[in-house]
Structure formats: structure tokens, C-alpha cells
Structure 1
Amino acid sequence: MTDRSAVDGRVSARTLFGLAFPALGVLVAEPLYLLFDSAVVGRLGALPLAGLAVGGLVLAQVGTQLTFLSYGTTARAARLHGAGRDDDARNEGVQATWLAVVLGLLLILVVQLFANPILSVLGGGGDITAEATTWLRVGVLGTPLILVTLAGNGWMRGVQDTVRPLRYVVAGLALSAVLCPVLVHGLIGVPALGLVGSAVANVIGQAVAAALFVSALMRGPRTRSLRPDLAIIRRQLVLGRDLVLRSFAFQACFLSAVTVASRFGAGAVGAHQVVLQLWNLVALMLDSLAIAAQSLVGAALGAGRGRAASMLASRVTAWSVGFAVVLAGLFAATHGVIPPLFTSDSSTLTSIDSIWWLFVTLIPVAGIVFALDGVLLGAGDAAFLRNATLASAVVGFLPLIWLAAILDWGLPGIWVGLMVFVSLRAVSVVWRTASGAWIRTGTDTVGSRTSTAEGS
């Protein structure tokens, strides 16, 4: 049942963080497992580890580019939940799951057909490409399962249930973590499969998580059919198109940043990697609050309470900025402690020092951006977010990155570009939120052109 205080615009720390912390667990579970997977495969030697890195990079793009199955479904399901139509909200999960299966099967076909040319470009051909191909041909079989999990996360977040998704994801990853060393190294009498054992373990764990999400869809009373509904799927694809284009903008920016950083030497690349991973950690923390905001705002709009949604936007942003300021303070206080944990190389440490305070300064600004991204995603305002992100990338991040290369500004030039990118996004989402143009109440406004008048 919807938290009525949240629907009325009052959100407590307990409500917000009660949704955010389990969502954070889901966000960090996969990266933590991938570190474990890399450690297991790494004991086979450098070549299998390189194959895992290259093959895994291709598979990772599935989750990165198709997150609309999660975030888009949350936006649509949250409105229905706020209107008291939980069975319809669950039906959004059903349709997203059908879409996940179809897209997953198409991706299996594409990757199986084009694995060699794709991996030859990334791995440079030779032994690394051969290892990566072996891993990817098995690992890609889990693509529909990965996408089903994304869809399941989406509708459950929409009905403000972030605990069960955490349990399901952890159950799948825990099984993979047990099977991975057994299959890779041939423990307890099982034949050693080497690198391919890692892929098999991944697929089995993904199957368990996907099965749990599907079973949750099928449990309980239903008034809707489990068959595909093309009208709903079409609206989900409209929302998905905007989120995919937005994701491409992020990928272009960060790939360009790595490319330019490599021109400044190994120390700069190492420093960029270290601080970027810390930035990604901060982003995951703030994204968990954005997920909570998405669910709460969507429910308020679905309940017809536009002014309450506006109040929620202000309150969630205040909590997010406060949390971000605390994080910035922690990183400022540990300036001399954290970098040496990653490296003892003097050139890398010097390069880290050159961008550390830019990183710290960026965190509170990110607190605004992530919170209001969540608010606008909850409102289904994906087209605006797409345009704002693309414009911020084209006007801010990309020109400054390439100027940093041309004018030899070094690593600080890249991170100034990131600051401009995030700051432009902050200005755009603050302006959009203040305008109230995103406040469209009712249950049929996400992924369609229709809307109702603003609620009270």
C-alpha cells in the first residue's frame, strides 16, 4: 500500500532511505560480484582474465543501454500504484518482461552472429579475442534473464517494494559466487571448465534471479491477462527510446574522457580510473535516492496530487543534497588516506591530487542532479532529460574534453569538463522542476502524449 504521507508530499528520512538502501544493495551487488568473478578467473592467468574483461565489456552494454526496462517501468508502475491500481502496476511488469524476453533473444542472435568482428575490434584479435569469444558465446545466453531482472526491479520499485528485488538479486549472485570457483577450477570433483565456467555460473545465477521475479509476477490475485499487450509495450518503447539516447550521451562522454586521459600518460590514466571509480560509487549512492524519488513522485502523480509531487521534489532534493554534502566532507577529510590505498606510484598520486578537489566539489552538485533526475523520471519526463543530457554533453563536456587534449590541459581539464557537464544538467533540471511543466497527473501520461490537469 502507498505511504499516504509521501503521497501528500511529506517524506521522512525513514521512508526515503527505507526505499533507497535496498535499491542501493541491488545497484552494488552486481559490481561486487564482478570483482569476485575477476579474482576467480584471474587465478587462471593473464589471458583468461583479459578475455573476461573484453567479453564482459560487451555484455555489460546490455544492462547499461537497456535500463529503461527498469527505470521506465518504475515510472509507469508508480503512477498506477499511487492510484490504487496495483494489479495494473504489476501488468506493467508483465509487459516489460515480455519485452525483455524478445529483446534478449534478439541480442543473443546478434551477438552470436557478430561476436568475432565485435571482439576483434575491442580485443585486437589473436588470443585475447579467442578467449573473449569463448566466454561471450555462453555468457550472452543469459541476456534475456538479465533483462527480465531489470523489468522485475522496475515494477517492484514502482509499487515501493525494494526489499524483495534485493533478496532475488542476492540469491542469484550468491549461487553464481558458489558455482564460479567450482566450475572454473574444478573443485569437489567437478571437471574444470576454465574461463567458460565463469560464464556458465553467471547464466545459472541469472536464471534463478529471473525465475524469482517471474514467480512474483504470477503470485496473488490478478484481473489482467499475462498475455502481451502491444499498446502498453509500445508506450514502454517510447519511454525507452528517450532513456537509451540519454544513456548513449553518457557513454560518449566517458569513453571520450578515457581516450583523452590516455594521451597524458600512464599516471594520468591510472588517476582518472581511481577517481572515476570513486565517482561511480558516489553515483550509485545518490542513484538509490533517485530511485526512491522516482517511486514516490510517480505515486503522488498517479494519485492526482500534483502539488504533493512538487513538495516531494523539494524534500527529496534537500535530503539528497544533505547526504551529498556529508559524502563530500568524508572525501575531503580522507584526502591523504584514500588515494594511497589504490596505488603507491608517485606520478599517479600526483595526478589524483590535481583533480581530487574538483571531485569533492562536484558531489553536492550531483546531489541536486540525481534527486531531480529521479523526480523527473518518476513523472515520465524522459524526453526532457534526454534533451538536457545531450545538450549538456554537446555544449559542455565533449568540447572541453577535446580542448584539454588539444591545449594540453591535462587531467584537470577533463574533470573541469565533467564539472561543466554536471552543472549544466543541474541548471536544466532545477529550471524544469521549478517550471512545473512536468506535473502531469493521472495514470496514462508516461510514454504517451495524453495528460490530465494538475491535481491538488
Structure 2
Amino acid sequence: MRVPAENFLTLRAFGAPPIVIALAAQGSFRGFMDTKTPLYALGAGNLLNAILDVILIFLFHFGVSGAAVATVISEYLIAFILLWKLSGKVELISPNIDGRRIVRYLKSGGLLIGRTIAVLLIMTLSTSLAAREGPIPMAGHQICIEVWLAVSLLTDALALAGQALLAGGYSQGNYEQAQEVVFRLLQIGLITGIGLAGFLFLGFGAFSHLFTTDSEVLKIAWSGIFFVAGSQPMNALAFVLDGLYYGVSDFGYAAYSMILVAAISSIFLLMAAPVFGLAGIWAGLFLFMTLRVVVGLWRLGTKSGPWEMVWSETEIEQK
């Protein structure tokens, strides 16, 4: 597994610049509450990726390297489309640079980088531990992870919408609206998670067959159905809470709480994986998502940080 992985990552490294540009551009479009442009850009890029995958992997027999090249090319297309459309909205290279704003941006960005590293640590650790189980368990684990993440990220759309709505109410001092957004988003997130869980319980077999026809790999993948489907309600709430953090610029708590959660989950993974194998790894990932929800709801419940203003103003109005 290591040699093709190294080949893939070596080629994928050339896609780092467009990925960073595309992510920054998508954030800008969200600020304008424009979700259509990123959708069209990502749709075009992924369509090209799928077409190039077939050509490079099967027709030219480039294998894993072909998949990497296809992904890199599609990423440059996405970045180009987003920058082209964004140039009509803002001045991409401004002659007026405010040093104070840059410092504030770097501070918030640094916190979120730390948070992202904590998330990547868990995913990397779980993949590393799964690889130690052997090629067949690793393949089954990867199918579970791909389906788990793909379906879970559907709720990320709720987080993005909630982030924009909450930021609008919070920045304008409309705390009653902000509180309403919080309640509705958590309710919709939970309902969506339950719905996705049911959908996966019924359709996981069809999804897993899209990846392989190997009976041994499918057997491993099927053993993870309770992890993939059962964790969806928790995943949905975790992503929704992320959107709420960002909506009120609660970056410090988002970063530090994630680091704590990642540390606890990492210890659990290191202890459970050698004993229980893939079941221990999946339990560790479920614990990771559950702890994210716990610390998020605790933050809202204690009404601390930026949330103090949201709840206190509403309580004063009610009195």
C-alpha cells in the first residue's frame, strides 16, 4: 500500500496551490451569501475529474497516478472558475492593505489551522491503525470512511447556511434572530442526521458495491454499518455546531476544544485498536464526533464567550 500511496501524494502535492485558493474563494462567496457559484465550479471540476479518471486509469493504465493527475487538473479548473467569478465582485489585489485587519485575520486563521490539524491527526491516526490490520481490512475500512464522510458532509451545507444567517443577526445586534437560528439549526441538524442514518441502513449495501466486488472486502465493510449509519445524527450535530462557532467568531473555543477532544480520542484509539481491531477504530471515531457535540452543547449551555451577549440580550428583552 505504501508505494502507490507515495506516488499518489507526490503528484497530488502539485494541487496544493489551487486547493488553498479555491477554499479561500469559497469562503468569500459564502460571505456574499452566494452558494451557487461554488456549486457550479465544484460541479464542473468534479465532472472533469470523473472523466479524466476513466481515461487515465483505464485507457492509459496509469492506475493510482492517473487518479492523482485527474484530481490535480480538476482542482486548477475549480480555482480558475472561482477566481474569474470573484474578480467581478471584489478587487483581488488591493493597493490598500490594512495591517490591523491582516493581524486579526492571521490570528483567527491560526486558531482554525490548529483546529484543522487536530481533526487531521485523528483521521490520519485511524487510517494508520487500520493499515496495520492488513490490505483487506484496510480496504473495507476505507469504504466505510468514504461513505461515512461523504454522507456526513451533506449536513455541512446546514452549517454553512447557519453560519451566514447567525453572523448576519449577531453582527447587526439582532440577538433574538441569532437565538432562533441556533435552535432551528440544531433541530434541523438532528432530524437530518436521523434521516441519513435510516437512509444508510437501507442503502449501505448498494454504496459498498460501488467500490468493489471482492467478497472479503465487502464483508469487512458490512461489519461497519452500525458505525457508518449509527453515527450520522452525532455527525450532523457536530457539523452544525461548527457553523455556529464560526457564525459568532468563536474561533478560540472551536480550536482549543477540538485539540482537547482530539487528544482524548487519540488515546482511546491507541488503546482500543490493538485489542479490538477495526471495531476499536470505529468506536474511537464515534467517540471523537460525540465529544465534539458534548463540548459544543456545553459552550451553548454555559452562555460563555460571544454567546453571553446572544443569550443575555434575549433574556433582558423577555424580562
TM-score, normalization by structure 1: 0.59
Cα distance in 2 for partners of 1:201, 1:353 equals: 32
Alignment match, 2:8: 53
Map Cα deviations across residues 158-210 of structure 1 (whole Å, 9 max, x no partner): 232212333445566678889999999xxxxxxxxx99986667546633432
1:216 aligns with 89
Q: 2:36 aligns with which of 135, 152, 163?
A: 163
SS in 2 for 1:434: helix
> Cα deviations across residues 217-263 of structure 1 (Å, max 9, x unaligned)?
149xxxxx652221111111111111100111111111111111122
Tell me which residue corresponds to 2:62: none
1:78-137: CA deviation from partner (whole Å, max 9, x where unpaired): xxxxxxxxxxxxxxxxxxxxxxxxxxxxxxxxxxxxxxxxxxxxxxxxxxxxxxxxxx3x
Aligned partner (choices 277, 283, 303) of residue 436 of structure 1: 303
Sort the Cα spacing of 1:353 and 1:50 in 2 relative to 1 into closer, same or farther, 3 A: closer
Structure 1 position 424 matched with structure 2 position 291: yes
Structure number with larger C-alpha Rg: 1
Offset of 1:300 from its aligned partner?
0.7
Pairs within 5 Å for 1:44-443 = 53-57=8-12, 59=13, 136=14, 139=15, 143=17, 145-170=18-43, 203=76, 206-218=79-91, 227-395=96-264, 397-406=265-274, 408-437=275-304, 438-439=306-307
Residues 233 and 414 (structure 1), Cα distance of their counterparts in 2 relative to 1, 3 Å cut: same
Query: Distance in 1 between the 2:52 and 2:218 partners?
Result: 38
Is the Cα–Cα contact under 8 Å of residues 172 and 208 in structure 1 kept in the other structure? no
- Would you say how many aligned residue pairs link Structure 1 and Structure 2? 302
Q: Give the secondary-structure state (helix, strand or coil) at the position aligned to 1:334.
A: helix
**Which moved further from structure 2: 368-377 or 155-164?**
155-164
CA contact (8 A) 2:53 2:67 kept: no
SS of equivalent to 2:307: coil
Unaligned runs of at least 5 residues, structure 1: 1-48, 60-135, 185-193, 220-224, 443-452
Q: 1:428 to 1:332 in 2, by over 3 A?
A: same
Instruction: Assess if the C-alpha contact under 8 Å between 1:302 and 1:441 holds in 2.
Output: no
Q: 175-184 vs 377-386, which deviates more?
A: 175-184
Aligned mates of 1:355, 1:182 — CA distance in 2: 32
Instruction: Provide Cα deviations, 1:49-74, integer angstroms capped at 9, x if missing partner.
Output: 877622344x3xxxxxxxxxxxxxxx
Contact 2:205 2:222 in 1 (8 A): no
Of structures 1 and 2, the one scoring higher in RCO (CA 8 A, sep 6+) is 1
SS in 2 for 1:432: helix
CA drift of 1:281 comes to 0.5
Once residues 291 and 308 of structure 2 are traced to their aligned partners in structure 1, the CA distance between those partners, rounded to angstroms, is: 25
Distance 1:401 1:53, change over 3 A: same
Q: CA RMSD in A?
A: 3.4
- Contact in 2 for aligned 1:366/1:422 (Cα 8 Å): yes
Question: Residue 306 of structure 1 contacts residue 439 of structure 1 at CA under 8 Å; is this kept in 2?
Answer: no
In the TM superposition, residue 308 of structure 1 has moved relative to its aligned partner by: 2.1
**TM-score, normalised on structure 2?**
0.82
Query: Contact 1:52 / 1:195 at 8 angstroms: preserved in 2?
Result: no
Alpha carbons of structure 1 residues 344 and 175: separation in structure 2 relative to 1, 3 Å? closer
Mark the CA change 1:171 to 1:412 in structure 2 (over 3 Å): closer, same or farther. Answer: closer
